[in-house]
Amino acid sequence: MSPQHAPPELEEFFSNLELFGDALWAGAAAGALLGVLGVYVLLRNLVFVSAALSQAAGLGVALTFWARAALPGLLGGLDPALGAIVMTLMATLFFVRAHDHHDAHQDAQLGVAYLIGSAGTLAVATRIVADLADIETLLFGSAVAVLPEDRDALLWTAGTLLVLHGVAWRGFVAISVDGDGARVRGLPVALLEVLLFCSLALGVSVATRVLGALPVFAFSVLPAMAAVKLARNVSEAIWISSLVGIAAATLGYLAAYRFELPVGAAQTLTCLLLLALASVAELLRERHGHGHHH
Amino acid sequence: MSTEPRTLLALERAVVGYGGHGLLPPVDLALAVGDCWALIGRNGAGKSTLMRSMLGLQPLLFGTLRRAPQLRVSFVPQRAHFDLSVPSRVRDFVAGGLDVGWRFLRPWLDASERSRVEAVLEATDTATLAAEPFAALSEGQKQRALIARAVVSAPQLLVLDEPTSAMDPLNERAVFALLQRLCRPPGRDNAMAVLLASHQMGFLPEYADHCLLVDKDLGVLQAGSTREVYASAAFGRIYGALHLPAPGLGG
Chain B residue with minimal CA distance to A39?
B86
Kind and range of the H or E run holding B53:
helix B47-54
Helices (H), B89-246: 90-95, 111-123, 139-151, 169-183, 204-207, 226-230, 233-239
Q: Per mean pLDDT, which range of A47-51, A278-282, B143-147 is the poorest?
A: A47-51
* Residue bearing the bigger pLDDT, B79 or A41: A41
Distances (CA, A) of A106 to A46, A99, A116, A125, A205: 11, 8, 15, 28, 22
Distances (CA, A) of B71 to B31, B108, B118, B157: 12, 25, 24, 8
Give chain A's mean pLDDT. 85
Amino acid sitting at position A22: D
Q: How far is B233 from chain A (nearest CA, A)?
A: 35
How far apart, in whole angstroms, are the C-alpha atoms of residue A122 and residue A117? 9
How far apart, in whole angstroms, are the C-alpha atoms of residue B195 and residue B183? 11
Furthest C-alpha separation in chain A? 74
- Residues A173-204: pLDDT tens digits? 999 999 999 999 999 999 999 899 889 888 98
Interface contact flag, A232 B55, Cβ < 8 Å = no
> Which residues have CB under 8 Å from B114's CB, separation 6+?
B95
Judge whether residue A279 has pLDDT over 90.
yes
Q: Per mean pLDDT, which range of A4-18, B62-76, B92-106 is the poorest?
A: A4-18
Which among B104, B192, B98, B207 is positioned nearest to A189, based on CA atoms?
B104
- Sequence spans of domains, chain B: 1-72+155-251, 88-154
Query: What is the distance of C-alpha B23 from the center of its chain?
Result: 21
- Residues B150-207: pLDDT tens digits? 999 989 999 998 888 767 777 788 888 888 887 776 655 557 899 999 887 877 888 8
Give chain B's mean pLDDT. 85
> Which residues have CB under 8 Å from A14's CB, separation 6+?
none
Chain B residue with minimal CA distance to A229?
B87
Q: What is the reported pLDDT for A61? A: 83
- Residues B51-72: pLDDT tens digits? 999 999 999 999 999 999 889 9
Question: Any bridge partners for residue B39, and if so which?
Answer: B197, B212
How far apart, in whole angstroms, are the C-alpha atoms of residue A242 and residue A153? 19
- Residues A102-127: pLDDT tens digits? 655 667 777 888 888 888 887 887 77
- Read off the pLDDT band of A27 (50, 70, 90): very high
On whether any CB of chain B is under 8 Å from the CB of A11, the answer is no
- Which of A180, A188, A233 minimises the CB distance to B87? A233
How far apart, in whole angstroms, are the C-alpha atoms of residue B99 and residue B120? 15
Which among A270, A258, A162 is positioned nearest to A214, based on CA atoms?
A270
Q: Rounding to the nearest 10 degrees, give the CA dihedral for residues B30, B33, B35, B41.
A: 50
ipTM for this model: 0.85
How far apart, in whole angstroms, are the C-alpha atoms of residue A171 and residue A208? 27
Task: Name, of A46-55, A159-168, A193-202, B188-197, the range with top average pLDDT.
Answer: A159-168
Distances (CA, A) of B220 to B13, B46, B50, B197: 14, 10, 13, 16
Q: Rounding to the nearest 10 degrees, give the CA dihedral for residues B168, B173, B178, B184.
A: 150
Furthest C-alpha separation in chain B? 54
Question: Any bridge partners for residue B36, and if so which?
Answer: B194
Interface contact flag, A187 B100, Cβ < 8 Å = yes
Judge whether residue B246 has pLDDT over 60.
no
In this structure, how many other beta carbons lie within 10 angstroms of the beta carbon of residue A215? 33
Interface contact flag, A182 B99, Cβ < 8 Å = yes
Q: Which CATH superfamily is domain B1-72+155-251 in?
A: P-loop containing nucleotide triphosphate hydrolases (3.40.50.300)
Helices (H), chain A: 10-15, 17-43, 47-70, 72-75, 80-100, 106-125, 132-140, 148-177, 179-184, 189-211, 213-219, 222-230, 234-259, 263-287
Identify the three-state secondary structure at position B37: strand
Interface contact flag, A235 B92, Cβ < 8 Å = yes
Q: How far is A170 from chain B (nearest CA, A)?
A: 5
